[in-house]
Amino acid sequence: MRYDWLPELKLRSDYLSEEDYINALYEDFKRDFLDKERKFKGLPIRIKRHPPYNGIFSGKEATFRHLITEGHDENNRIISPSRCKRIGWILPVIENYETKEVHCWKNYRKSNGYAYILSLSNFSYKVVLTKRSDYLLLWTHFPLTYGHEREKLRKDWEKNQIIS
């Protein structure tokens, strides 16, 4: 399947410095999620603004930092090239959730409650929106590079296809 509607990857090598790259990624994030209210299934999509961070993330929202980094300890996450270069994919996947190129389902996570999972139909990339009382929180996004990860995601989709 072709995903012609996805923007090109945004590569670090196209920028003079890491700071320039992070700022360019932030401009995409800002355009997609801060400059205009976005909705999914009639609910507004929101982001976490706190806690504030210093250094290269100073003045940038917590969700942005989470989206371009990886690691289990929120205070010690490291920049993830695979997440960074796909920052521009999040909104198009959300906007195309009713097409055959995107699978969408709802599942329950012990840590966060209900979440909408949006995946490219080949299960190579996913976006997670967690349900709050009257909005959705943009939780995460990332590529799935290993076959066993994709298979696990496919099985979750098969089990939870009916969404509300």
Per-residue pLDDT at 56: 76
> Residue 79: its pLDDT value, please?
93
Of 141, 140, 142, 138, which is closest to residue 48 (Cα–Cα)?
Answer: 138
Helices of type H across the chain: 18-33, 62-67, 81-84, 90-95, 147-159
Are the CB atoms for 49 and 62 separated by under 8 Å? yes
SS3 51: coil
User: Phi and psi at residue 45, in whole multiples of 5°?
Assistant: -95, 125
pLDDT at 52: 67
Distance CA 67, CA 138 (A): 9
- Whether a cis peptide bond, with omega within 30° of 0, leads into 52 is no
Question: How much is the pLDDT for 163?
Answer: 54
Which pLDDT does position 81 carry in this prediction? 96
Provide the whole-model pTM: 0.92
Pairing of β 69-70 and β 78-79: antiparallel
Per-domain residue ranges of the chain? 12-159
pLDDT tens, per residue, the chain with 164 residues: 689 999 999 999 999 999 999 999 999 999 999 999 999 999 999 999 877 676 777 788 989 999 999 988 877 889 999 999 999 999 999 999 999 999 999 998 777 789 999 999 999 999 999 999 999 999 999 999 999 999 999 999 999 875 54
| Cα–Cα distance measured from residue 102 to residue 122, given in angstroms and rounded to the nearest whole number | 9
What pLDDT sits at residue 164?
42
